[in-house]
Amino acid sequence: MKTEIASKMSRISRALLAAALALAGAISAKAQNFFDSSVSGIDLGNASGGTTGGHLHWAIFTLGGNVTITDPNPYTPTATHGPNDPAYYASAGSADVYGNVGISGSGILSMSKSYIDGFVTEATAGSTLAGNPIGNPYFLGGNININSAYMASGAASAIAASNTAAGQGNFVGVGNTAATTAVFTSGTKSEVNLGITGGAQAGATYVLHLTDLILSGASTILTLHGTNTTNYVLNIDRYMTLGGGAKITLAGGLTESNVLYNVRNNDNFGVNPTQGTPYDVTLSGGSEVHGIILATTRAVKETGDSKVYGEVIAKSVSLSGASNVINPLVSP
């Protein structure tokens, strides 16, 4: 009898141990998101701001265009460190960019009175670095890396990801597939105001097609809800504009790597991708966006202390007026 009881206890213990290990594995498994993996076939590849699978945690990645950063308050490090010494940057205040900067094609980096807390990689050399008080460049590593193959691969992946995202149908339950315009000028909004009712479910991917996403005014806050297994794809056909301190924030465990703003040409959702006007994506007046801006044919322009928490993938990117791009995986 004792032997039988001991045997049963041993089997129970093994079962409990196996269940605990399985649970631990489930907990430790990385949630599906746009930084680390493919979501509904949308894969940013080497343009991703993630750190797994060889990704280089980009904060900014451009497709053939320039990255231009100017700051009204120049970064002034102490003269006791050299440009290849990480301590040279440790005394910096707020960097203009947290994370790495990648530039494909013939684009270059142009910096003035600014600071990147990360490395810089280009497809070809030729950057302009000027205006800092004690030499240049002001980014980690001290030299611009040249890697044309990796940059080309990232650009191709970004274009493919944008096309795949644009081809997704609206999430079931959102409503009809016609484009809608979201223009918010005041008050607190949520995904419900975008047409998602009963949303923010774990494991769900919500896809919307919008003509415009326009927020203006400091009291205008759009909050997307979900968990770290919820994903949003907002396909935007024409304008993505935030001004006057408007914000897009996240809640409930939703992270920047779960949200993709796929800003296309004004081309009727890709029916004729060669047509349409590539309006600039603009953030101004202290506005704020959380998520990944994917705008392969657009310029993204931040002014007036605006911020993107996540990543900007665009034709070109310009930051001025103490604006920032902050990859949350590497930000302080």
Which tokens in the block code for residue 210? 């919008």
CA distance 2 to 189: 65
Segments in the chain below pLDDT 70 = 1-30, 74-94, 129-138, 140-142, 170-179, 266-277, 331-332
For the stretch 231-285, pLDDT in tens is 999 999 999 999 999 999 999 999 999 999 999 975 544 445 455 567 899 999 9
Tally of CA atoms within 13 A in the half-sphere of 248 that contains its CB: 32
Q: Left if phi > 0, otherwise alpha if psi is -120 to 50, otherwise beta: which for 134?
A: beta
Residue 30's pLDDT is: 54
Residues contacting 106, CB < 8 A, separation 6+: 64, 123, 124
Residue 7's pLDDT is: 43
CA distance 24 to 29: 8
For the stretch 153-167, pLDDT in tens is 999 999 999 999 998
Closest CA to 248 of 206, 195, 194, 296: 194
Residue 151's pLDDT is: 96
Residue 181's pLDDT is: 87
CA angle 209, 224, 167 (to 5 degrees): 25
Residue 76's pLDDT is: 59
Residues contacting 54, CB < 8 A, separation 6+: 46
Which tokens in the block code for residue 11? 């089997």
Residue 253's pLDDT is: 95
CA distance 206 to 260: 10
CA distance 255 to 292: 10
